[in-house]
Every structure is written in structure tokens, then in C-alpha cells.
Structure 1
Amino acid sequence: MISPDIPALVERATDHPSLREHISLDMREGTAFAQFRAVRLESAYQPIFDVSMNGFQTLWSSPDCADRFGDELGFQALTERADDELFDPFDTVADDRELVVLDRLARTLHAINFFGAQRHGMLFLRVHERLLKSVKYDHGQHFSSVLMGFGLNPSRVTIELPSVAVAHRTFLGYLVNSYQRYGFKVAGNLPNAGHILSVSDMARLDFIKIDGGAVLRDAMAKPLLSYANRLGIPLIFDRVANETQFDSLQQFGARFVQGPLFEPKKVCAER
């Protein structure tokens, strides 16, 4: 089913009391933006690539600076201010209840711009530790109901859990089951390679994410990939910053990668 376009989704946002005063359509850009206090918030997306499709040569040699690197597994949503600087609400909002409101606003904004632009693949959305503590139960219920009210499919959204949650097996199992019950896929960010042992049938993650540079520095890429393969859970190497890191990860059999190296702006700037 084809999702409604961005203007239609912005119009549907007017039916939500918590959204109608904040989300608007930029007529010139054709994208949605949100107003929080005096700050204009916008969406940005970092691709997550499946490098098994052997698209690396295309990425670097294309005369039009193609942003494709094999096939995209999906896109990581980032919240930006109007001046293109990343906006971290956790640095600016002290009240946890207000933070929950802001987080829900940002998630909805990213979903509108992602689905409304007919992007393919998965939408990855991060969740902060403070939000997990602020919502006591039924994690994912509210956002799932918002998406379905917009005619959007929660199964194309991956909720990223922070490393502090992954480190606690029982809590991780509860969170994964809750988000999956409301239709989402779930990724867990590992604080280090050893914490993959926290992942079990109690917490059947859909994806595992870890800092690719840190894994290489600790010489853990090969055993980590081997254990993830035994679990049958796709492993995404995040924060890949340069060609040397990418080449090393690919030699160990990495399939999914993400980070500054693969951003179109960086590719064009280095050509």
C-alpha cells in the first residue's frame, strides 16, 4: 500500500491535539517541520547500507555523487535545527514529562517526512534511557496508535534501544516484547562486544548495532559476527568513519554498515 504524501500526513496531524500546534508544512521545500519553543526542528536521514550488494565502486566513482551503496536496509532519523545543526533534546529539556512530549513530536515528524516521501526500507528511531524510565509500561503503544491513525505501518519502524537497556537482560526482554507487540521491530545498541551475551530468546532483537570503530580497536569483529550469526540476528556496524575501517569490516564479513563515511555530502566533498 502506498503511504499518503507529506501534505496529506501534515493535514492528518491537525486531528491530534498534541501535534496540530507544532507540525507544519514547508511549502517551498515540500517537507514537514516542527516548532518547539523557539526552535524549528527538521528531519535528516543517515542511510544504513547492505554492502553485500557490492555497490562500493558505484558510490565513489559515480559522476553525480550517487548516494547508493548497495541496497539500503533503511535510514536512521536525525533531528536537526533549521541551521542544519543536530538538535539533542536531552541537552535542553530537564523535565521528563516535557521530554516525552518532545520525543513523540520528533518521532512523528520523522515518520511524516520518511513515509510521505515514499522512502523505502526501514525507519530507525532512537530511544533515550530517560524516556524508557519516564514511560512505565506499554512501551510503543502511543506511537503505534499515532502511526496507524495516519495510515502508516509500524512494522517498517525499528525502535533503537540504548546500550544501558541492552546491558540488563530482564529489562531488555520486557522492552523488546512490548515494542514488538505493538508492531515495531527492535534494535539493541551494544555498549561493547561482550554484551551480545545479554541477547537471548528472552529478548529476540530484530537487529544488533555496535560502534564499528570500537569493535576494530578491540579486535572483536570476527567473534562478534560469528556469535551474531549463531543468534540469527543481523549486525549493523555504526559510526564507520573512513575507508580503512570499512575495508577491515568487509574483510571480516560485515554486511550492514552505517556512519559518516556513507553520507552523500561526505562522498562528494572527498571526490
Structure 2
Amino acid sequence: MPLNDLVDYFNREQRRQYGDAIAPRDTLRMQGDVVVADYAGLVLSSRFQPILPLCQEGVYGHEALLSVHGKGGPLSPQALFMIPTSADEIVYLDRLCRTVHALNFLLQPDTGGLLSLNIHPRHLASVRQDHGLAFEQILRQCGLTPEQVILEIRHDPTGTGDPRQAVESYRRHGYRIALDNVTSAPTATLWDALAPNMVKLAPELEASRRDIVLDAAARFGTPFTLQLGLATDLALRHGLSHVQARALAPPAEGLTGPTWRRGAFP
């Protein structure tokens, strides 16, 4: 399906599912060579940051990062998700962001490896059942499958949310799971519930706590580990498998991971 037709299709499906009050006409649109979405007077767009392996045969991917712009300038994604007032609107906005990312990923001329997408905690709590099914249908329209996608679930050190039901559903559909922004050692219960394919440590995580988390990741069989912002030499020294750092490869509209990877591993 041509891209313009695909954008029109998603706009019709959103209106059908959520109604005009939540999903007004033509929310998704082309802006030059990329897809953007309009929401509450703001423009939502994508930037991709490489997730780079430290061994030549390691899997690579790109995390899709949300850019939010209004008349007053840029806005943080955290501020954006304070706007919705209902569970349905949270689900709509979270899927809208991921649809923008999937369409822009589709537009890239070269393979970007795995596509890593953030799931907002309020989305996990708002979807009642069969997490991942609706987004799987969106992905397949974009020529992607859940097996190509990592869903990033933010670490909640207070333990106020229980992601087990959502994660089990995501896994049934084939998605990989990442535990994101780890600021302290997750509980054994959380490790067991998520069984994450990837753990992404917060930049500020102290060395002693990093070692505890990495030991637990090894015990629970988590294959991929990275600490955001670390340079390659430090990542190797700490036994990490991947790097994701602005100094190495900053977020960009296009995919840059494979080129950097070929340069790093001649």
C-alpha cells in the first residue's frame, strides 16, 4: 500500500475506533519526507537513536524517540502525556506515537535492525486485555512484525504497577521486552514477571548498583544489557553487550546504526 494511502487508512481506523472527539480527522500527515501527527495543537515526530552491539555478531536496533513541538517551542514527552484526561485517550495517544514511529521506520531506505518503542505506564494500566494485538495489526500494515519490535517498559522502583498480564500478552504476540531506565535493583518478582530480553540502565546508576543489576540479569538470563550514555570502552569494561550514547550516535531522523556498526567492525 502506498504511504499516503496507508496514512489515510490509519486516520480512518483511528476515527472509527476512538471517535472524532479523540481522533479528529487527518491526525497523521506527511510533512516533507516524514510522517508527523497533530495532537492538542502539538506536532509529534520521530527521531531514531542506534542501539549498537559491542560484538560483531550482536543484534542491533534503533530506539524511536518522540519529538514534540508547539507554537512555544519543544515540549517533553512527559509533559505531552499529562494532557489526556481519560483511559481511552491515553491508549489512543500512546498508539498514535508508536504508529508515527513505525511509519517513519518504514520510510527508511536501509534496514534499521530491531525497532525499540516505549510503552507509557498509563497505557499498560488502561488497556484491559490482549495487550499488543491492536498494535500488531498496525505493524503488519507497515510491513513489520512484533518479532522485529522491542517494547520498552519503564522501571518502577516503587512497585506500584504490575506489568505481568501485559507482558505475558505481549510475549504471546511475539514482541521482545526491555526493562528501561533502571535506577535501582529490580525485585526478583519483577525479573520473573518481565523476563526482559534487554535491560537499559539509567545513566546515573551508581557502579555498585550497576553490578547488582548486571548480576541479576545474568542469573535471570537477560541476553542484552546497556547503560545509557556510556562510551564503548566503559561498556566493554563493565561487561555490557550494547551501547546507546549521544556521543557515539545521536538521535536523527534517519537510521544510522548499520553504517556506524560497519565502521566499528571492519
Cα separation, 2, equivalents of 1:191 and 1:209: 6
Aligned partner letter, 2:237: Q
Which sections of structure 1, spanning at least 5 residues, go unmatched? 54-69, 267-271
Which sections of structure 2, spanning at least 5 residues, go unmatched? 16-22, 253-266
Cα separation, 2, equivalents of 1:133 and 1:220: 28
1:188 maps to what in 2?
179
Residues 157, 186 of structure 2: 8 Å contact kept: no
Change (3 A) 1:229 1:168: farther
1:104 maps to what in 2?
95
Measure how far apart 1:141 and its partner are: 1.7
2:53 maps to what in 1?
50
What TM-score comes out, normalization by structure 1 length?
0.74
1:147-186 superposed matches below 5 A: 147-164=139-156, 167=159, 171-186=162-177
Aligned partner letter, 1:203: L
Cα separation, 2, equivalents of 1:161 and 1:168: 14
User: Which is helix-richer, 1 or 2?
Assistant: 1
1:10 maps to what in 2?
7
Measure how far apart 1:116 and its partner are: 2.8
What TM-score comes out, normalization by structure 2 length?
0.75
Aligned partner letter, 1:254: L
Alpha-carbon RMSD across the aligned residues, in angstroms, is 3.1
Cα separation, 2, equivalents of 1:167 and 1:182: 25
2:117 maps to what in 1?
125
Measure how far apart 1:160 and its partner are: 1.1
- CA deviations 1:24-80 (Å, max 9, x no partner) are 112x3x111111122121111121111234xxxxxxxxxxxxxxxx97721111111
Residues 166, 189 of structure 1: 8 Å contact kept: no
- How many residue pairs get aligned? The number is 239
- CA deviations 1:135-154 (Å, max 9, x no partner) are 12221121112222443212
1:251 maps to what in 2?
237
Cα separation, 2, equivalents of 1:166 and 1:41: 30
Change (3 A) 1:5 1:229: farther
Greater relative CO, 1 or 2 (CA 8 Å, sep 6+): 2
